[in-house]
Amino acid sequence: MIYNIFYNSTKDISWCTDGDISDSVKTTQAGLGLSHVALDLAQIPECDKYYINSDEDGVVAYSSFDLSFSATTIAIDGTVTITNCPAGTELFMDNVSQGTYSSGDLTLTGSMAGSFTLTFKKDKYYDVAQQITVMRYGVWI
């Protein structure tokens, strides 16, 4: 089936339809900064799961992180090492950005007791979150 897909400058799909699209709709959408492509696909691509490829002749599924955590519960001054994190990933702790990851393993040290949610975000990837618990003296605080 042919799908008319409108997407932005970063190739994120804004909207799509299997209906006919007039030239005036294409012109209006172009005025809003959206490009258009008509593609023969098996099913309509979900906007938050696919994007347009670099050649602008197909869709690509978002990637999933393949993170590995050495631990999810540690003592104060203990460490968690995170591997398989792709460069360009932004790390959030309890919804506050901690910066963008560049390369190599990422090692975090527990400096205070509590439960913390680490969220990993990267363009064209599904976000992933992991709770890390830091314990004092081996008991829950």
In the predicted structure, residue 75 carries a pLDDT above the cut 70: yes
Which is it for strands 50-52 and 73-75: parallel, antiparallel or unpaired? Answer: unpaired
Q: What is the pLDDT of residue 138?
A: 59
46-67: pLDDT as tens digits: 999 999 999 999 999 999 999 9
Q: What is the pLDDT of residue 20?
A: 93
Instruction: Please tell me the pTM assigned to this model.
Output: 0.81
Q: What is the pLDDT of residue 107?
A: 92
* pLDDT level of residue 139 (50, 70, 90 thresholds): low
Q: Are 8 and 36 spatial neighbours (Cβ–Cβ below 8 Å)?
A: no
| CA–CA separation, 17 and 29 (whole Å) | 13
